[in-house]
Amino acid sequence: MSTTIFSHPLITHKISVLRNTDTTCKEFRELVEEIAMLMGYESLRDLPLEDVEIDTPICHATVKMLAGKKLAIVPILRAGLGMVNGLLALVPAARVGHIGLYRDHETLEPHEYYCKLPDDVENRLVILLDPMLATGGSASAAINFIKQRGCKHIKLMSVIAAPEGIARLEKDHPDVEIYCGCLDEKLNEIGYIVPGLGDAGDRIFGTK
């Protein structure tokens, strides 16, 4: 498994602003989208290119264009929704699937309530989005759904990860590439990332 923790100063700075309790819901939403775009730019640098013949206004030319597999962007509801537009800004033709999971506050186990993926998802590179990788239970369950549909190439993008979440995915899904904006210290006794940013869904949607 490959795990990339970004150290780009723009990503680091924007995550620090996200963490602040004083950051408003509007600012939080905008920042999550910007961070997702910056992380997407870095994590898609291995997309294959192919030669294509075109005519420019000046001459005939062989140019490079994206080749091969198409993309499916799959946010884990709710908080992953906040990252979708950042990725779509980079790859506007990507299809979008949705996986609905919530974490039981007592057991921290994920519960599925929705799953709708593109028909041909097995032929696509799947970019799974969730700003928080805490215990890793939600991401691991979402990856199971995606694999059940025959997908072979999956990248997970999380804004903040806990060491526990990364260890869980290394064990459950060693073939998945993980990209994180930041690796935090630990989980607290109720499963929140420390120092973290609180509940990502509530902060994006203003529900608390």
Residues 119-158 that bind ligand PRP (CB under 6 A): 130, 132-139
Q: What are the phi and psi torsion angles at 15 (to 5°)?
A: -65, -40
Look at the chain and count its residues.
Answer: 208
**124 carries an active-site annotation:** no
Under the criterion CB under 6 A, does residue 83 sit at the interface with ligand PRP? Answer: no
Nearest distance, CB of residue 141 and ligand PRP, angstroms: 8
CA 104/CA 131 separation, integer angstroms: 18
CA 97/CA 117 separation, integer angstroms: 4
Among residues 70, 69, 79, 46, which one has the least CA distance to residue 158? 79
Q: Of the ranges 27-35, 83-91, 94-102, 196-204, which one interacts with ligand URA (CB under 6 A)? A: 196-204
Cα separation values, 150 from 74, 130, 147, 162, 182, Å:
15, 21, 5, 28, 30
Residues 77-96 that bind ligand URA (CB under 6 A): 79
Of these residues, 4, 19, 149, 202, which one is catalytic?
A: 202
**51 carries an active-site annotation:** no
Under the criterion CB under 6 A, does residue 173 sit at the interface with ligand PRP? Answer: no
CA 150/CA 146 separation, integer angstroms: 7
Under the criterion CB under 6 A, does residue 108 sit at the interface with ligand PRP? Answer: yes
**Burial, 136: exposed, middle or buried (Cβ in 10 Å; 0-12, 13-18, 19+)?**
buried
One residue of 18, 83, 99, 200 binding ligand PRP per CB under 6 A: 200
Q: Of the ranges 33-41, 120-128, 172-180, 193-201, which one interacts with ligand PRP (CB under 6 A)? A: 193-201
Of these residues, 78, 103, 124, 168, which one is catalytic?
A: 103
How many chain residues are in contact with ligand URA, going by CB under 6 A? 9
**46 carries an active-site annotation:** no
**107 carries an active-site annotation:** yes
80-107: b or e for each residue (b if 16 or more CB lie within 10 Å)? bbbbbebbbebbeebbbbbbbbebeeee
Residue whose CB is less far from ligand URA, 66 or 108: 108
Catalytic (active-site) positions: 103, 107, 199, 202
Interacting residue ranges for ligand PRP, rule: CB under 6 A: 76, 78-79, 101-103, 108, 110, 130, 132-139, 165, 191, 199-201
